[in-house]
Amino acid sequence: MEQPNLDQEFSTVNATKSKFPIKKVAIGVVGLAVLVAGLGVGLYLVRQNQDIESGATRTPHDVTCPITATDTLQVYSFGGYGVRGDKEGTIGPIPSNILPGEYKITLVAADLGHPGADSQPNESYYVKFYNASNAEIAQSGKTPDLPDQDQVITSVVNGSITFNENVTGITAIHADWQNSNSVNSIHPVCIGIEKLSEKVTLQCNNVKVYDKDFNLLTSGQLKSLSAGDQIKVAVSGGASSGSFDKAQFTINGVQRPEVSSKKSGTQEIYDEYTIPDGVTQFTIKAQIHHKEENKWL
């Protein structure tokens, strides 16, 4: 997808008198659009077993998280400490690295003291998700009460939850925290965050014009280009995941063959072009192709 957006255009410059007049040309550089698309793939860091906090009154329960991380499922541990309704109600935030998108949330809760002497009917917790500014951006559903006879419960608390920005921290909170004097102790074990779809941000950057040796041309040098000069036109893209594999340039309305060569050490894809005779002004448009999304920008 393109959205012609003429950034700059260089008008013809009068040549000084010369025995062999050289026709001057101008190069127009066209910027392209930003596209936000859904559905993508990516790999994430999975961090587990964060150091949470210690306290004389908080003894961690050694429960192995029953959720296995995959390419599309992140797992974060809360460290095994308990939360209660009357005090010590939260754990975290633990660091996370979750991109914007739609996810399914699974929480694991435990109490190895079960079956206990008393019945605790609200052994439940939920989590809050925070952005990089430590602002809360979402809350999960609550785990169901851990039955008195059970020691571990795994629950899908959100079939689908959408994050519109990166989640960089997760805090586990007792369901009764700050609402009750009851204990209802429960140990948040871990959270599974399964990607259903990701918001991939794609962007096509402005066209660059180089000489044949990859020296970037200034606007003054662009005005000085002459018929027969060899140039390289290049375009790059930006993406929250994946990569760009080819580009196609249109110069003065003529679409050129697709190219895939990249400027050494960069992700810029370039085409080689020789300034023809009889042309005094150029408009260059570029499209770039995102491999994984299979989209032209």
Which positions lie near Ca ion, rule CB under 5 A? 111, 120, 123, 145-146, 185
Question: What SS3 class is residue 96?
Answer: strand
Contact between residue 168 and residue 261 where contact means Cβ atoms under 8 Å apart: no
CB of 152 to Ca ion, least distance (A): 12
Q: Which residue is nearest to Ca ion (CB)?
A: 185
Cβ contacts of residue 133 below 8 Å, gap of 6+? none
List the helix and strand counts (H, then E) for the chain. Answer: 1, 19
Structure tokens at 112: 């190895």
Question: What SS3 class is residue 273?
Answer: strand
CB of 168 to Ca ion, least distance (A): 30
* Residue closer to Ca ion, measured from CB, 123 or 268: 123
* Alpha-carbon span 281 to 99, nearest angstrom: 44
Kindly list the distances between the CA atom of residue 279 and the CA atoms of 5, 30, 160, 274, in Å, as whole numbers in the listed order.
22, 18, 57, 11
* Residue closer to Ca ion, measured from CB, 150 or 211: 150
* Residue closer to Ca ion, measured from CB, 61 or 104: 61
Cβ burial, residue 264 (10 Å; 0-12/13-18/19+)? exposed
- How much is the CA Rg of the chain, to the nearest whole Å? 29
Taking Cα atoms as reference points, which of 15, 26, 14, 3 lies closest to residue 229?
A: 26
CB of 130 to Ca ion, least distance (A): 27
CB of 52 to Ca ion, least distance (A): 18
* Residue closer to Ca ion, measured from CB, 88 or 102: 88
User: What amino acid occupies position 205?
Assistant: N
Contact between residue 84 and residue 184 where contact means Cβ atoms under 8 Å apart: yes
CB of 115 to Ca ion, least distance (A): 10
* Residue closer to Ca ion, measured from CB, 83 or 190: 83
Taking Cα atoms as reference points, which of 69, 71, 72 lies closest to residue 47?
A: 69
CB of 60 to Ca ion, least distance (A): 14
CB of 187 to Ca ion, least distance (A): 8
* Residue closer to Ca ion, measured from CB, 77 or 185: 185
What's the chain's length in residues? 297
* Residue closer to Ca ion, measured from CB, 150 or 194: 150
* Residue closer to Ca ion, measured from CB, 99 or 108: 108
Cβ contacts of residue 263 below 8 Å, gap of 6+? 210, 214, 232, 234, 269, 270
CB of 175 to Ca ion, least distance (A): 11
